Amino acid sequence: MIRHMLAPALALLAATPAAAQEALSLDARVNEIFAQATGPFVNFIFAPFYGTNFPWIVMWLVVAATVFTLYFGFVQFRFFGHAIRLVKGDYSDPEDAGEVSHFQALATALSGTVGLGNIAGVAVAVGIGGPGATFWMILAGLLGMASKFTECTLGVKYRNEYEDGTVSGGPMYYLSKGFRELGLPGGGFLAVLFSIFCILGALGGGNMFQANQAHAQISGIVGDYPGWITGLVFAFVVFLVIVGGIRSIARVTEKIVPFMGILYVGAALIILIVEYDKIGWAFGQIFAGAFSGLGVAGGLVGALIQGFKRAAFSNEAGVGSAAIAHSAVRTKEPITEGFVSLLEPLIDTVVICTMTALVITISGQLIMDPETGRFVLDEAGAIATVDGNTGVALTSAAFAEGISWFPYVLAIAVVLFAFSTMISWSYYGLKAWTYLFGEGRVKELVFKLIFCAFVVVGAAANLGPVIDFSDAAIFSMAVVNIFGLYFLMKIVRRELGSYSKRLRGGQIVAYKS
């Protein structure tokens, strides 16, 4: 199907070599300009903490997730069962304000996180930090559940509900309203700052990185061709969905997220079953590498940094983006959507990312010295791989070791993951845009057109500057969001105490059992 869609453009380029050369050189020019424009911003966000090699932004996220986990008494484990019942709709009242169900809100938020970070991002982490990075990804995912709980509860509590039934919520609203409620200054400034970073994150990680890796996988199957062609196809399809707003996005994500999740995890399980005799060895590599580094560049610290960094990019816990999607839920109890959001990092990082890392580890794509049992490093300090594969190409090659035709299945998964992430992040960016410039169809259309234009840019640029800018833009949102959450988390604890008491006392009952 993909080859059929691209056939006319590929035939034209084949017939006109000069045009093809000019198109490919355009990719190089776009990449050079993009790298020069975003370099200083990226360097600041990922600057190391004083006297260490640990990026300060990663420490910012890890400390916050730990604080929220302890402050709320390990809420991610105590209310896990209740979260499942909420997603099933047991407590859903169709008359509550909001636009989407608990399941649709979860699917929309997951579609923004379950994406190429799980495929390409994990490959990057394992390729640099070794299998041990997987352990730290899992730990970051478990801790991050508390961060999601905090921000998504606030997202619903302080959302705007309009007469036409639509809602707008997210960090920009709870920062401004929550700070004002507590009598604290600066909430409005933080809201504006978050909105700016959210727009950058939507244009960077929300579509450019997705389009970039989708093009890499497709071109690996159909042959090399200019990235802007893939970008145009994606931009057109994305626009058809996002023009209908959150209800249209939710209708698509509630169908595509379960399908793509089952497709990808199912393929990973098949490989793990076939290679069952290596699973014990792979987990041994993961646990040993987590505390020793197993010869990777940076050792233990390198594995830890890559694990936490990739987990944060994958599940976005603490970033605040998911709170925008969850704010659209139909409920009168803000805390219920906090419970539902707990499931995101578990599904995204603990399950799907771990599957990817296990397949890569047992595939033999990471080159080891048979005499020492240590990984062989390339000139850049990353683990040398067969054929020099990185990112999505490494994941594809790893899966192909178990299933020769899997790159074709992965191409479908990549397209679905990229597409679902784009449409969710278009909504995040749109809500930040309307917070800054006001509601209105014309203003919304302007952002949607800009968003689709950046899809094309992302597909045409190289991986390096795209992934750097994507990480920096999204992590910038976390700087503002987490700062605000420290002041507002006592409001969440008050909501949690009230709801827990009423749930135990029988005042809150299921609408269906």
- Name the phi and psi angles at 55, rounded to 5: -60, 135
Q: Are residues 213 and 414 in contact, defined by beta-carbon separation less than 8 angstroms?
A: yes
Structure tokens at 464: 């390096």
Digit-coded pLDDT (tens) for 478-510: 999 999 999 999 999 999 999 889 888 877 777
The answer to whether the predicted template modeling score (pTM) of the entire model surpasses 0.75 is yes
Put residue 47 in one of left, alpha, beta given phi > 0 → left and psi -120 to 50 → alpha. Answer: beta
Q: Is the pLDDT of residue 472 over 70?
A: yes
Q: If you average pLDDT over every residue of the chain, what do you get?
A: 80
Lowest pLDDT segment from 227-231, 298-302, 444-448: 298-302
Q: What percent of the chain has pLDDT over 90?
A: 17
| pLDDT reported for residue 4 | 45
What CATH code is carried by the domain that includes residue 471? 1.20.1740.10
d(CA 478, CA 427): 18
| pLDDT reported for residue 177 | 94
Digit-coded pLDDT (tens) for 151-183: 999 999 999 887 777 788 899 999 999 999 999
77 SS3 class: helix
The answer for residues whose C-beta is within 8 angstroms of residue 319's C-beta and 6 or more apart is 201, 312, 474, 475, 477, 478, 481
15 domain residue, yes or no: no
Domain that holds residue 263: 75-368+381-505
| Residue range 391-415: mean pLDDT, rounded | 77
- Cβ neighbour number for residue 21 with a 10 Å cutoff: 12
Q: Return the higher-pLDDT residue of 149 and 296.
A: 149
| Residue range 297-303: mean pLDDT, rounded | 61
Helices 209-222 + 391-402 axis angle, to 10:
50
55 SS3 class: strand
Q: Give me the torsion for CA of 186, 188, 194, 197, rounded to 10°.
A: -100
Instruction: Give the C-alpha distances (Å, rounded to integers) separating 375 from 305, 372, 384, 387.
Output: 18, 9, 8, 15
- What residues are paired with 168 via a beta bridge? 160
242 domain residue, yes or no: yes
140 domain residue, yes or no: yes
- Name the phi and psi angles at 43, rounded to 5: -60, -40
54 domain residue, yes or no: no
Q: Return the higher-pLDDT residue of 23 and 224.
A: 224
For the chain, what is the domain count?
A: 1
- Cβ neighbour number for residue 261 with a 10 Å cutoff: 22
Lowest pLDDT segment from 88-97, 155-164, 166-175, 398-407: 88-97
| Residue range 206-229: mean pLDDT, rounded | 77
- pLDDT bracket for residue 194 (50, 70, 90): very high
104 domain residue, yes or no: yes
d(CA 36, CA 464): 12
The helix (H) or strand (E) run that includes residue 316 is none
68 domain residue, yes or no: no
Digit-coded pLDDT (tens) for 8-27: 444 544 445 555 455 556 55
Q: Is the pLDDT of residue 412 over 60?
A: yes
Q: Is the pLDDT of residue 115 over 70?
A: no
Q: Are residues 321 and 195 in contact, defined by beta-carbon separation less than 8 angstroms?
A: no
- pLDDT bracket for residue 512 (50, 70, 90): low
2 domain residue, yes or no: no
| pLDDT reported for residue 238 | 85
| Residue range 269-278: mean pLDDT, rounded | 86
